[in-house]
Amino acid sequence: EVQLVQSGAEVKKPGESLKISCKGSGYSFSNFWIGWVRQMPGKGLEWMGIIYPGDSDTRYSPSFKGQVTISADKSISTAYLQWRSLEASDTAMYYCAKHLCSDNSCYSYFDNWGQGTLVTVSS
Partner 1 sequence: DIQMTQSPSSVSASVGDRVTITCRASQGISSWLAWYQQRPGKAPKLLIYAASSLQSGVPSRFSGSGSGTDFTLTISSLQPEDFATYYCQQGNSFPRTFGQGTKLEIK
Q: Which residues bind partner 1 (CB under 8 A)?
A: 37, 44-47, 49-50, 59-63, 95, 97, 100, 102, 107-111, 113-116
User: Between residues 47 and 52, which has the closer beta carbon with respect to partner 1?
Assistant: 47
Rounded least distance, CB 75 to partner 1, Å: 26
Least distance CB 46 / partner 1 (angstroms): 7
The nearer residue to partner 1, 18 or 48, going by C-beta atoms, is 48
Q: Which is nearer to partner 1, 15 or 109 (CB)?
A: 109
Give strand ranges (E) for the chain: 3-6, 10-12, 18-25, 34-39, 45-52, 57-60, 69-73, 78-83, 92-102, 105-113, 117-121
- From its phi and psi, is residue 63 left (phi > 0), alpha (psi between -120 and 50) or beta? alpha
**Residue 33 Cβ, how far from partner 1 at the closest point, in Å?**
11
CB of 89 to partner 1, least distance (A): 18
Measured between alpha carbons, how far is 50 from 122 in angstroms, rounded to an integer? 27
Strand partners, 58: 51
